[in-house]
């Protein structure tokens, strides 16, 4: 399992050549290395801690195996807060987000 941001979001939201980003997962902040494939059209972020967090979200309230839609909210330079998208009503209009899928 990985966090898929897509090739177009990778080009748009991530400065070319950065080696790592910080992700805030609930109360945990982790630094994830970006693989070379991230810049070659794959747009996936993989880290074992991220995978464990995504699995915990998948099995809490998501009874099927469908991908989990997430928001990535910028929270600083090369730093993002991840939040599951439960409905458009729960998202604040001030949040600058882009979609990602686990």
Q: Where are the domains of the chain?
A: 3-65+72-101
What are the structure tokens assigned to 5, written together? 């941001």
The pLDDT of residue 63 is: 54
The structure's pTM equals 0.77
Burial of 86 (0-12, 13-18, 19+ CB in 10 A): exposed
Burial of 59 (0-12, 13-18, 19+ CB in 10 A): exposed
The pLDDT of residue 1 is: 76
- Compute CA distances 81 → 37, 91, 101, whole Å: 22, 13, 14
Q: Is the pLDDT of residue 95 over 60?
A: no
The pLDDT of residue 47 is: 93
% of the chain residues with pLDDT over 70: 76
What are the structure tokens assigned to 68, written together? 């989990």
Q: What average pLDDT does range 28-57 have in this prediction?
A: 90
> What residue has token string 């982790």?
30
């Amino acid at each position: 399992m990985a966090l898929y941001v897509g090739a177009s979001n990778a080009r748009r939201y991530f400065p070319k050549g950065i080696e790592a980003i910080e992700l805030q997962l609930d109360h945990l902040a982790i630094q994830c290395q970006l693989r070379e494939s991230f810049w070659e059209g794959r747009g996936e972020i993989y880290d074992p801690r991220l995978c464990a967090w995504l699995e915990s979200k998948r099995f809490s309230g998501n009874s099927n195996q469908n991908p989990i839609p997430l928001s990535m909210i910028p929270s600083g330079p090369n730093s993002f807060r991840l939040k599951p998208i439960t409905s458009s009503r729960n998202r604040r209009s001030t949040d600058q987000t882009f979609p990602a899928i686990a």
